[in-house]
Structure 1
Amino acid sequence: MPPPCEIIVVADGDTDNSWLVAQQFGAKVLRLTTCNGPAKARNLGAQAASCDILFFIDADVTVYPDIIERVEKIFIDKPELAAIIGSYDDTPGEPNFLSQYKNLFHHYTHQTANEEAFTFWGACGAIRRDVFFAVGGFDESYRRPSIEDIELGYRLQKAGYKIRLCKDILVKHLKHWSPVSLLKAEFFYRALPWVELILRDGAKNDLNLGIKSRLSVIAVYTLTLALIASLWLPQFLIVALALSLLLLGLNLPVYRFFYEKRGFWFALRVIPWHWFYYLYGGLAIVLGTIRYFWQQYKFFKPDIVNASKTSL
């Protein structure tokens, strides 16, 4: 395997001296004394790079030995591509249930998505260096791990550049998920800002907002209301049962995937978490929409007031 042209590690306010390990292995290390977020860290790494292709990898991801060669070959064979993204593999590093579920679900989502991508992915994404700087790099207003890579992908699409999801470019995710960390990341750092980004730019979300997902959100909320109503009117349990069967039918491919990968009992445990995913995803859509239009109202309100005073 040919080695990468250079390896650059950006230590974004690290406190464990892990940058020393990277330095010992010959990587070029850039250190930030305070944590500024992945967008700024990646931009600094890109500015220090001299190669034609920038290949971004998250700190909690490991790569397979042939990945550099394969990424390079794709850009040589497909000169029309400006960027490519990969996927998590189906053997996550953390053994606990929630980490296995979340990382496998991410793998499933990418493996069943269209190869013509509308977003970039910072955990495993490569982009031509000149294109990266032509669109301005990552938006550094995102100070936490959020949707800075998704936002970059939307700008690439607007500028007419092509992004390809290469399903055979796989990396291993080592992140440990707990209920608190998952909900904080999924709801506050991704879902809410993603909704606002879609409303702001009219962007397309081909990964999470398909027709089945939208129907599932409606079904989950209707199921919740039916279960609450059944406390007073037991006949609503029939409605709840019908909605549960509808949800199972809509998401049968997902549950079949988990059954094939981890067995029956694992797939059974996935179901309530998956329905909960639709629950907080739907809530994020509502709250994100309200927040977006409220911010728009506050932005335009002074102009409206001034115009009223002028007319008087």
Structure 2
Amino acid sequence: MSVIVPTHNSAKTLGACLAAVHRLRHPVTEVIVVDDASTDDTRAVARRFPCRLLVTDRNAGPAAARNRGIRAATGDLLFFLDSDCAPEPDALGNALAVLREQPDVACVHGIYALEPLFDDGPVEAYRLTHGHHWRLRHVGRVRTTLFAICLIRREVFDTVGLFDEKLRASEDVEIGDRMGDRYGIVLTDTVVCRHDDDSRLGSLLAKQFRRSQMLIPVALAERGPAGIRANSAAGLLTAA
């Protein structure tokens, strides 16, 4: 069992993330932190914990960081965590239970808690409420992978390839699209993490606009009962 944490300029949250990793009730073989050329104190924070720290010379994006972690990992099961997420103590054990109970499933990902990792105000509260509930609506078998908190069999990458390093966003959704019908994917509310989300409206809107451009083709492909949709048509009209 290898834990992989890609990170960039996350000195604020990485300590809470790694502390939560070491509180997991299920044992792990190794914890790998891949620092994607941070310019803050991220590496100093990582060195306070018993983990393997890999450092890149230039910022190449989360896909490249995840790929480096995969290549370095020794486990047959890979537990991915974003560096702004702190898993609940039972998160890994619950994800593993899904794999054991459903042998055709190769990927299990979870949901955000309503409680933030750090309380930064009403914009973050809105964002977490939205993120929590749209994931909750889709609990069960899905066709989309979200790697903020995700347990996956290593063999998947041997079959479909690694993350597309040309993508700076939605690279986890794209690899789920490549998994197609070959591997079962489950979204479960038993795998939970506290998340530190955007707290400023301007940066939130800019990020969502960038990501939405990448998600349009995926949204078209994900039509159907197993597709994940974060917003309903009525919700989009209301927001407009």
Query: Scaled by the length of structure 1, what TM-score is found?
Result: 0.64
**Separation in 1, partners of 2:29, 2:94:** 14
User: Does the CA contact (< 8 Å) of 1:119 and 1:154 recur in 2?
Assistant: yes
2:22 matched residue in structure 1:
none
Greater relative CO, 1 or 2 (CA 8 Å, sep 6+): 2
Larger helix share, 1 or 2:
1
**Separation in 2, partners of 1:23, 1:130:** 30
**Separation in 2, partners of 1:117, 1:54:** 19
**Offset of residue 16 of structure 1:** 1.7
1:106 matched residue in structure 2:
131
* 1:192-230 deviations in Å (ceiling 9; x for gaps): 11113445xx343733277xx22454xx3xxxxxxxxxx
**Offset of residue 119 of structure 1:** 0.8
1:177 matched residue in structure 2:
199
Tell whether 2:54 aligns with 1:33: no
User: Does the CA contact (< 8 Å) of 1:60 and 1:174 recur in 2?
Assistant: yes
User: Does the CA contact (< 8 Å) of 2:95 and 2:190 recur in 1?
Assistant: no
* 1:228-268 deviations in Å (ceiling 9; x for gaps): xxxxxxxxxxxxxxxxxxxxxxxxxxxxxxxxxxxxxxxxx
**Separation in 1, partners of 2:218, 2:198:** 27
Counterpart AA for 1:171: C
Return 5+ residue gaps in structure 1 as ranges.
221-274, 280-312
| Alpha-carbon RMSD | 1.9
**Separation in 2, partners of 1:195, 1:85:** 22
Larger strand share, 1 or 2:
2
User: Does the CA contact (< 8 Å) of 1:120 and 1:163 recur in 2?
Assistant: yes
Tell me the percent identity.
Answer: 31
User: Does the CA contact (< 8 Å) of 2:82 and 2:148 recur in 1?
Assistant: yes
**Separation in 2, partners of 1:149, 1:3:** 25
Change (3 A) 1:134 1:115: same
* 1:115-150 deviations in Å (ceiling 9; x for gaps): 1111111111111001123111211111x3x21111
Alignment counterpart, residue 173 of structure 2, candidates 136, 150, 153: 150
1:167 matched residue in structure 2:
189
Tell whether 2:26 aligns with 1:2: yes
SS in structure 2 opposite 1:7?
A: strand
Alignment counterpart, residue 204 of structure 1, candidates 207, 217, 223: 223
SS in structure 2 opposite 1:134?
A: helix
Change (3 A) 1:197 1:108: closer
2:233 matched residue in structure 1:
214
SS in structure 1 opposite 2:30?
A: coil
SS in structure 2 opposite 1:152?
A: helix
Alignment counterpart, residue 193 of structure 1, candidates 214, 225, 240: 214
Query: Scaled by the length of structure 2, what TM-score is found?
Result: 0.82
Change (3 A) 1:114 1:24: closer
Tell whether 2:113 aligns with 1:89: yes
Q: Which runs of 4+ in 1 moved over 6 A?
A: none
**Separation in 2, partners of 1:177, 1:34:** 27
* 1:83-133 deviations in Å (ceiling 9; x for gaps): 011000111232410100011110000111141111111111111001123
